[in-house]
Structure 1
Amino acid sequence: MTDGVSTVQQDGNNMAPDKKSKTEQMMKKIGVPLAIAVALLLFLMPTPEGMSIEAQKSIAIFTGALILWVTTPIPIYLTSLSAILLLPLVGAVDDQKVAFGTLGFDVIWLMVSAFILTSAMVKSNLGRRLSLWMITRFGKTPKMTLFLLVLINFILAFFVPSTTARATLMVPICLILLEVYRAIPGKSNLGRVMMLQGVQSDALATSGVMTATAGNIIAVGFINDQAGGNIGYMDWLLASMPTAIITMTLTFFIGLKIFPIKGESNFHQAMDTLKDELAKLGSFSLDEKKAVSIFLFTVILWATGDYHSGWFGFEISTEQTAVLAALLCLLPKIGLMTWKEANIKWELMIFAAGAYAVGNALDKSEGALWMINKLVVALGIEKMNHVWVYVVVVFLSMYSHLIFTSKTVRVTILIPAFIALAKTLGMDPVPLALAAAMTMTYTITLPPHSKVNTIYFGTGYFSVLDQVKYAIITCFIGACVISLAVFTWFKVIGI
C-alpha cells in the first residue's frame, strides 16, 4: 500500500500541465505593443478638462501596466519595476518616495511574514498531521469526511497563508482516500464533490482570514491608506468569516444535492490507509511543537489586539505581530528553520510594491477620482440608491474573476476604483471597499481562474461543466450573503 500511496502523492503534486490557450498566447504576443501604444496615446493626447497633467501621466502609466499585468507578456514583477521607475521619471509624482517607498509599506512586511509562517507549517508537517488526524478520528462516513475536509481548509487558512500551499497539502490526502475507496475519476460523485468542495472551501476560507492570501493584505492596505479605514486582523475576521461560513454551509448541502453520494463500501479501508499515513509521521517532532507554540502565540496576539494597551501599556499591531512570529520561526534554537528555507515570493513583493505605487499616484493626482466621476456619469450610478450601489459593486467584484484571473491584479484595479466611487457619491468608502474585497478570493468558476482550481482539476474527478455549474450557484449565494451583511452584520460590528 505504501507504493500506491507514494504514487498518488507524486501524481497529486504534478497534476496539471501548464498549457496556454490560443487566447492566452495571442494576448502574450500583443501585450507589449498594445501597452506601449495605449500608454503613449494617453500620455500625448491633450489633457482633458478638469484633469491635472500629473493625473494624465499617472493614468497613462497605470493603463499600460494594467494591460501588461492582464496579458502577462513579461512577468508581473517586471511590469511593477517599470511602473515604479517611470512614475517619478515622467513627472507623474513629484516625490519619488511615492513610488520607491512602497516596498517599505506595512503590508509588504505582513506578506513577507506570511510566507515565512507558511514555510514553517510545511517544513514541520504540522498541517499534514492535523488534516490526517481529524479525518481518521471523526470521518466515519463519506459525508462526515467531506465536512471535515471543508473544516480543515477553514482551519488551515489561519495558519497557512497561501491558497496553493493548502491545495498542495489537501489534494494528496483526498487522492489517498479516493484511491482506496475505489472512486473512479469522472464517474464517482464522491470524488467529484470532494474535489469541487476542496476548490470552494479553499477560496471561501481565504476570504474569511485577512492573512490567508496576499490579495486580502493588499486590499486592506488600500482601504486603510486611501479610504481612511482602520481595518485590522480581527476587523476583517469579524466582517468576512461569518459570510464565508454561511455561504460554505449552504453550498455544502447544495453540492450534495447536485452530486448525490450513494454507497459507502470500502470506506473503512480508506480510513485504515490514512491511519497508516498518520502513523508514519510518528510522535510530535520538536519542529511541530515549536510551530504550534508560535502559531498559537500569533493568533492570540491578533485576536486580543483591542486589549494590548490595557495589558502591556502599548499596542502590538497586526504587522508587528506577524514580523514577531516570523522572527520566532527564524531565531536559532527557538525557531525551526533558516532564512534559506523560507520560501518568500519576492516577485510578489515587487508586484505589490508596483501596484501600490501606481495606485497611490492615481490617488494623489486625483486621476482615479476623475475616471470614476466619468464612469458614474456614463452609467448613471449617481442616480442609484446607495443600497443598489453596494449590491452592484459586490456582484461586479464577485464575477470580475471571469475577466481577471489574478486576485492581486483584481484587487489592484478594483479596490482603489471603488474607494474613489464611494467618495464621488458621498458614501463611506470603507464598508463598500471591504465588501468588494471579501469577494476577491471567489475564483472558482473555471480551472484557469486560479492555481488551486488547476491543481484540483488535474485529478480528473470533475469536468469543467461540473465546476461551472457548482460555482455559479456558490458565487451568487456568496454575493447575496455579503450584500446582506453590509446592511446588517457590518452595522452590528461597527463598520
Structure 2
Amino acid sequence: MSTTGIQQSPQKPVGGKDTFDTNQLVHSLVCVVVGLAIFLIPPPQGLTPQAMHMLGVFVGTILGLILQPLPTSSVAIIGMTVGMLTGALDVKKAAFSGLGSPSIWLIVAAFFIAQGFVSTGLGRRIALVFLSLLGKSSLGISYGLAAADLVLSPATPSNTARLGGILFPIITSVSDVQDSTPKSDESRKRIGAFLALTANNVNAITSAMFITAMAAGPVVSQLAQKSGVNISWGLWALACIVPGLLCLIVIPALIYKLFPPTIKHVPQAQADAKTELREMGSLSGQEWIMMVTFIVMLILWATGSIFHVNATAVAFLGVSVLLCTKIISWNDMASNKSAWSTLIFFGVLVGMAQPLNDLGVTGWAGKLIANMVHGLPWMLVLAILTFFYFFIHYMFASELAQVAAIYTLFVGVAVAAGVPAIAAALMLGVASGLIGAMTHYASGPAALIYGAGYVKTSEFLRIGLICGLITVSIFLTVGMGWWKVIGIW
C-alpha cells in the first residue's frame, strides 16, 4: 500500500466540485481583510509602497495557508496571482522564480524515491528490520530514527536529502506496515502522524548541531567570518553536542505526550516483523537495484561538499536510475499528487520571500527589533533576539533565505548590545537550524513531511511552535551554561 501521492487536505466532493462552507468563507474574509489592510497602510519611513504591497500579499497568503479556506496549493496560486496583478510581484523576475529552486525540486525527487522504496518492497523490508529491533513501542521507533538522523547529519549538508531521501521512505514504510496512512484520521494517528512530526522536529535539531548538517550552515559560518567571528566545524559541534543531545532526548518524548500515537506498545509487531522477514527471503533483483542506488546517493550526498556534487542532481540521478530500471514509471510520478502540490505551494512561497528581502521589509523589521533591545543586559538581549529570530521565520520559506536576509543584522545588533561575538554568532546560527520545523513551509523537510498528508495544518503549527520554543529555551539555558564551561563566553 503506497503512502505517497496522497492529497494534503481531503475535500468533500459534491457533484464533482469542492464545497465552500461558512467557516471557509469566514477564513477567506480574514485573509483578505488582513492582507488588504497591510496593503493599503501608508508605508512607514524606510519602506516603499511596493514593499507594503508585497508584505500585504505575503501575510494574506500565509494566513490562507494557516486557516486553509482552500487547499494549500490553491491558496498559494491565488496569492501569487494577486501579487502579479497588483504589481507587488514582478512577473518576469520574482513570481515564478521559486518554482525553479533546486531545493524544491529535491523535495519533489524525494517523493519519487520514496515510491521506489514502496514499489520494490525494500522500504517494507527496512521497516520490518526497524520493527524487529525497536518495534516494542512507537516511542522506541522514533528514537531509532532520531539516532539515524544524528549519525547522518554531519556528513549530509542537505537536511532535505537526509530526511526526504533517507528517512522519509522508512517512515512511510513503517507506517504502511502498521496500516497507518493519510487516508483517514484513525489510520494516520495509529503511528504515521507521530513519526512524521517527530522526524520533522528532530531534523531541525540535527540541522542545528553541525555546520555541515544543512545548506545554511556554511553560509552562517561565512557571514560570521565577515563580521569578524571565526566558527570552526569543531567549535560548532562541541558547542552543540550537550544541548543538542538533550533536545534529541526530550523532543520525541514530548511529542509522544502532546500527540500520542494510538499504537503505543507493539510487542507482537516485533515478533511478526521477524517472522515476515524470514518469509520474504533474500533480496530480489529490484530490491538490490534500489538498495545500491540508495547507497550511492547517500555517498554522493555525504561527499557532495568535497566533490562539488549538487544534492538535487544526485536525487534526480537516483530517479533516473529508477526510471531506466522500471522500478517507477512516468505514470507513477505524474499521479503523485503530493509531490506536485508541494512543488506549487512551496515554490510560490519561496518566490514571494525573496522580494520581501529585496524590497527591504526584513531589514526594516530587524531595525525595529534593534531599537527595542537597546540598553538591556546582554544575556537578556541575546534571549530576546534569538526568540525574535525564531518568530520572524513565519515570514520565510527556508532557513537559507532567512540567514541571507537578516543573520548579519541580528549578529551586529547583539554584539553592539554587549553580547560576546562568538556566543551571538553561534546562538543565531543554531537558531537558523531550529526554525526549520516550526511551520509546514519553514524548510524543505517540513514541506515534504506536510505534503505526505499524515499531519494536518493545525497540528503541524502547534507541535512545531511548542517544540521550537522548547529547543530554543534549552540552548539558551543549558547551552549557555555549557558554553561557559568550554570558554565561549
Give TM-score scaled by structure 1 length. Answer: 0.63
Corresponding residue for residue 292 of structure 1: 291
1:371-427: CA deviations, max 9, x gaps? 3433554xx2344566545544655787x7xxx9xxx97753998668655444426
Does the residue aligned with 2:116 lie in a helix, a strand or coil? Answer: helix
Mapped contact 1:199–1:456 kept (Cα < 8 A): yes
User: Residues 293 and 195 from structure 1, CA distance in 2 versus in 1: closer, same or farther, beyond 3 angstroms?
Assistant: closer
In the alignment, the residues of structure 1 paired with residue 315 and residue 116 of structure 2 have an alpha-carbon distance, to the nearest angstrom, of 13
In the alignment, the residues of structure 1 paired with residue 193 and residue 76 of structure 2 have an alpha-carbon distance, to the nearest angstrom, of 34
Choose 146-155 or 355-364, whichever is displaced more: 146-155
- 1:160 is displaced (CA, Å) by 4.8
Say whether residues 1:361 and 2:358 are aligned partners: no
Corresponding residue for residue 70 of structure 2: 74
In the alignment, the residues of structure 2 paired with residue 347 and residue 96 of structure 1 have an alpha-carbon distance, to the nearest angstrom, of 22
Mapped contact 1:294–1:328 kept (Cα < 8 A): yes
Does the residue aligned with 1:48 lie in a helix, a strand or coil? Answer: coil
Mapped contact 1:118–1:161 kept (Cα < 8 A): yes
User: Residues 361 and 193 from structure 1, CA distance in 2 versus in 1: closer, same or farther, beyond 3 angstroms?
Assistant: closer
Corresponding residue for residue 381 of structure 1: 373
Correspondence for 2:114 among 115, 118, 134? 118
User: Residues 142 and 57 from structure 1, CA distance in 2 versus in 1: closer, same or farther, beyond 3 angstroms?
Assistant: closer
User: Residues 241 and 114 from structure 1, CA distance in 2 versus in 1: closer, same or farther, beyond 3 angstroms?
Assistant: farther
Mapped contact 1:397–1:414 kept (Cα < 8 A): no
Corresponding residue for residue 321 of structure 2: 328
Mapped contact 1:193–1:255 kept (Cα < 8 A): no
- 1:302 is displaced (CA, Å) by 1.3
User: Residues 391 and 94 from structure 1, CA distance in 2 versus in 1: closer, same or farther, beyond 3 angstroms?
Assistant: same
Unpaired segments ≥5 residues, structure 1: 1-8, 177-184, 186-191, 211-215, 259-264, 309-314, 445-449, 458-463
Q: Summarize the alignment of residues 82-481 of structure 1 with structure 2, pairs less than 5 Å apart.
A: 82-94=78-90, 96-136=92-132, 138=133, 142=136, 147=140, 150-152=143-145, 154-155=147-148, 158=162, 160-161=164-165, 167-171=171-175, 173=177, 198=195, 201-207=198-204, 245-249=245-249, 271-308=270-307, 315-330=308-323, 332-333=324-325, 336-342=327-333, 343=336, 345-377=339-371, 380-384=372-376, 388=380, 391-392=383-384, 412=397, 420=405, 422-425=407-410, 426=412, 432=428, 435-441=431-437, 478-481=471-474
Does the residue aligned with 1:49 lie in a helix, a strand or coil? Answer: coil
Give TM-score scaled by structure 2 length. Answer: 0.64
User: Residues 53 and 350 from structure 1, CA distance in 2 versus in 1: closer, same or farther, beyond 3 angstroms?
Assistant: same
In the alignment, the residues of structure 2 paired with residue 430 and residue 277 of structure 1 have an alpha-carbon distance, to the nearest angstrom, of 47
In the alignment, the residues of structure 2 paired with residue 241 and residue 477 of structure 1 have an alpha-carbon distance, to the nearest angstrom, of 16
Mapped contact 2:204–2:434 kept (Cα < 8 A): yes
- 1:58 is displaced (CA, Å) by 0.9
> Percent identity among equivalent residues?
19
The one-letter code of the counterpart of 1:346 is: W
1:202-237: CA deviations, max 9, x gaps? 334433577xxxxx98x959x79xx899xxxx99x9
- 1:43 is displaced (CA, Å) by 2.8
In the alignment, the residues of structure 1 paired with residue 266 and residue 343 of structure 2 have an alpha-carbon distance, to the nearest angstrom, of 47
Does the residue aligned with 2:397 lie in a helix, a strand or coil? Answer: helix
- 1:72 is displaced (CA, Å) by 0.8
Does the residue aligned with 1:99 lie in a helix, a strand or coil? Answer: coil
Report how many aligned residue pairs link the two structures: 411
Mapped contact 2:216–2:400 kept (Cα < 8 A): no
- 1:30 is displaced (CA, Å) by 1.7
Corresponding residue for residue 37 of structure 1: 33
User: Residues 155 and 374 from structure 1, CA distance in 2 versus in 1: closer, same or farther, beyond 3 angstroms?
Assistant: same
In the alignment, the residues of structure 1 paired with residue 257 and residue 32 of structure 2 have an alpha-carbon distance, to the nearest angstrom, of 50
- 1:249 is displaced (CA, Å) by 3.3
The one-letter code of the counterpart of 2:249 is: T
The one-letter code of the counterpart of 2:363 is: L
- 1:171 is displaced (CA, Å) by 4.0
1:267-300: CA deviations, max 9, x gaps? 5x65432222323433212221111111111111
Corresponding residue for residue 262 of structure 2: none
In the alignment, the residues of structure 2 paired with residue 27 and residue 485 of structure 1 have an alpha-carbon distance, to the nearest angstrom, of 44
In the alignment, the residues of structure 1 paired with residue 464 and residue 91 of structure 2 have an alpha-carbon distance, to the nearest angstrom, of 45
1:108-151: CA deviations, max 9, x gaps? 22122111112112222222212322443x45x958x9645521
- 1:53 is displaced (CA, Å) by 1.9
The one-letter code of the counterpart of 1:381 is: V
User: Residues 396 and 280 from structure 1, CA distance in 2 versus in 1: closer, same or farther, beyond 3 angstroms?
Assistant: farther
1:139-198: CA deviations, max 9, x gaps? 5x958x96455214654894755988655433465689xxxxxxxx9xxxxxx9999985
In the alignment, the residues of structure 2 paired with residue 255 and residue 387 of structure 1 have an alpha-carbon distance, to the nearest angstrom, of 29
User: Residues 364 and 244 from structure 1, CA distance in 2 versus in 1: closer, same or farther, beyond 3 angstroms?
Assistant: same
Unpaired segments ≥5 residues, structure 2: 13-20, 150-160, 181-185, 208-212, 226-232, 259-264, 414-423, 441-448
- 1:73 is displaced (CA, Å) by 0.5
Does the residue aligned with 1:92 lie in a helix, a strand or coil? Answer: coil
Mapped contact 1:154–1:202 kept (Cα < 8 A): no
In the alignment, the residues of structure 1 paired with residue 105 and residue 451 of structure 2 have an alpha-carbon distance, to the nearest angstrom, of 25
Correspondence for 1:47 among 40, 43, 47? 43
- 1:355 is displaced (CA, Å) by 0.6
The one-letter code of the counterpart of 1:374 is: L
Mapped contact 2:399–2:436 kept (Cα < 8 A): no
1:6-44: CA deviations, max 9, x gaps? xxx99xxx9xx9799xxxx87633222222223333333
The one-letter code of the counterpart of 1:206 is: N
Corresponding residue for residue 6 of structure 1: none
